Amino acid sequence: MEVVNALGRRKRAIARIYVSEGTGKITINKRDLTQYFPSSILQYVVKQPLNKLGVAEKYDIKVNLYGGGFTGQSQALRLAISRALVKINPEDKPALRAEGFMTRDPRSVERKKAGQPKARKRFQFSKR
């Protein structure tokens, strides 16, 4: 199998991944998954598509990850992994779509408006 690449985005985070056959090692920005995401919840989010298909020990994944915060980065990586797995085996797509792993989350931060302290918050109104 040759190297399969994919891209995942969430908020401001962008994950570019390269999947090859291997032993299940995930390397993010030249660091191990457990070092990059110390939280077990974020590690779980990243591995969700692999565990769903039961191929967690089958592929090595190299990741370039930048932008956003750690939650957005983990979800961007999950989308990228899902897309790569579908490139490898298109029959897996319905199973991943049913779990919601194939959908790009379009929500992002709303811009701040002029004359307001935040996007929707208003300054206190005074009648007199």
Q: Which helix H or strand E contains 96, and what residues bound it?
A: helix 93-99
For the cut 90, the answer to whether the pLDDT of residue 9 exceeds it is yes
pLDDT of residue 44: 92
Q: In b/e form, how buried is each residue of 26-53, taking b as 16+ CB within 10 angstroms?
A: bbbeeeebeebbeeeebeebbbbbbebb
pLDDT of residue 128: 87
For the cut 90, the answer to whether the pLDDT of residue 13 exceeds it is yes
Per DSSP, helices labelled H in 21-92 are 33-36, 40-53, 70-88
Q: How many CA atoms lie within 13 A of 54 on its CB side?
A: 0
pLDDT of residue 1: 67
Q: Which percentage of the chain shows pLDDT scores above 70?
A: 99
pLDDT of residue 56: 83
Per the prediction, the chain carries an average pLDDT of: 91
For the stretch 60-106, pLDDT in tens is 999 999 999 999 999 999 999 999 999 988 998 999 999 899 999 99
For the stretch 71-82, pLDDT in tens is 999 999 999 999
For the stretch 23-68, pLDDT in tens is 888 999 999 989 999 999 999 999 899 888 888 888 899 999 999 9
Q: Which two tokens stand for residue 16?
A: 């570019």
